[in-house]
Amino acid sequence: MAARPGLESDPLVNTSIALCTRSLYYRYEDTPALNGIDLQVADNAYLAIVGQNGSGKTTLVKHFNGLLKPDTGQVTVYGQDTTRASVGELARVVGYVFQNPDHQIFCSTTRDEISFGPRNLGLDPGEVRERTNDALAAFNLQAYAEIPPAVLGFGLRRKVSIAAVYAMRPRVFILDEPTAGLDRRSAGELLQRMEELHRQGHTLLLVSHDMRIVAEHAREMLVMHDGHVLAHGPTREVLRQTEVLERAQIRPPQIMELGRRLAEWGLPDDALTVDEFCEAYARARKARP
């Protein structure tokens, strides 16, 4: 496979399937969390994982970087069985951005914070410096490079936590609620960065409750409920399955609901974005005399 810009040439990366689970079961003490998950995520996918709290989203994604190992079944990352690799080894390939940035921030400067991961990977100092500078620039954090990240505002701390994982240049990014607590503009910037990563060939897993973001950005969608996969497919197709959404207690984005109510007027009932809806509306206007 030809190397894409921004991607590590890695011996692990030799398959078109990025992540794969086979009848994956997992339980926390007496509570079952995952009840037989069979899933394949293609390389360079942009997958949103949605579901209520406690449906098993986070438990599932924690299997992909080896933080959790299956009770029964198998999880592979680019063909590598996660039970045979440590979290540190998997971190080369799978970057996991936690929901709360404060769970990882500890260095006295933002620069050190970002270089922590690359240093753990055992890269030489020049490479660490280059990647750190690159990550600082990519997330517009140069002005804060020498400031303790703990004193930055929440939005900036979130950016630091993502930049810190970005500097490790993993093939797969897992982002757990990356836009929670961000204002619309910061969230927009972040989603823009994620689009760029996707264009560069990275695989993105987005755990989110925000259906607007899911509809506008994710190419495919996975609906979880009670540790089961209810649906998995292209975002538009999954969002059309009203019964599945109701069972998982998920409301489709507002624009889709509006479309459904106005369907009898010839408007699309599956527009994912406001732009898409407006275009369809304009076309419908033109078509009518």
Kindly list the residues in this chain that would bind other proteins in the complex (CB under 8 A).
62, 65, 67, 86-88, 91-92, 95-96, 98, 100, 102-107, 116-117, 120-121, 150, 164-165, 168
The distance of closest approach from Cβ of residue 35 to other proteins in the complex, given in angstroms and rounded to an integer, is 21
The per-type count for the chain, helices as H runs and strands as E runs, is 11, 10
Whole-number Cα distances in Å, 31 to 66, 207, 227, 283: 20, 21, 10, 52
Q: Which two tokens stand for residue 72?
A: 């029964």
Nearer to other proteins, 147 or 150 (CB): 150
Cα Rg of the chain, angstroms: 20
Residue 42 phi/psi, 5° resolution? -70, 155
The distance of closest approach from Cβ of residue 163 to other proteins in the complex, given in angstroms and rounded to an integer, is 12
Nearer to other proteins, 24 or 121 (CB): 121
Angle, vertex CA 35, rays to CA 43 and CA 21, nearest 5 = 20
Nearer to other proteins, 147 or 244 (CB): 147
The residues near 11 (Cβ < 8 Å, ≥ 6 apart) are none
The distance of closest approach from Cβ of residue 279 to other proteins in the complex, given in angstroms and rounded to an integer, is 41
**Torsion angle defined by CA atoms of residues 160, 164, 170 and 175, in that order, rounded to the nearest 10 degrees:** -40
The distance of closest approach from Cβ of residue 147 to other proteins in the complex, given in angstroms and rounded to an integer, is 14
Count of CB atoms situated within 10 Å of the CB of 31:
8
The residues near 127 (Cβ < 8 Å, ≥ 6 apart) are 118
The distance of closest approach from Cβ of residue 120 to other proteins in the complex, given in angstroms and rounded to an integer, is 4
Tell me the three state secondary structure of residue 59.
helix
CA distance 118 to 59: 26
Count of CB atoms situated within 10 Å of the CB of 36:
15
Nearer to other proteins, 20 or 165 (CB): 165
Nearer to other proteins, 95 or 259 (CB): 95
Nearer to other proteins, 110 or 235 (CB): 110
The residues near 288 (Cβ < 8 Å, ≥ 6 apart) are none
The distance of closest approach from Cβ of residue 231 to other proteins in the complex, given in angstroms and rounded to an integer, is 28
Nearer to other proteins, 148 or 201 (CB): 148
The distance of closest approach from Cβ of residue 100 to other proteins in the complex, given in angstroms and rounded to an integer, is 7
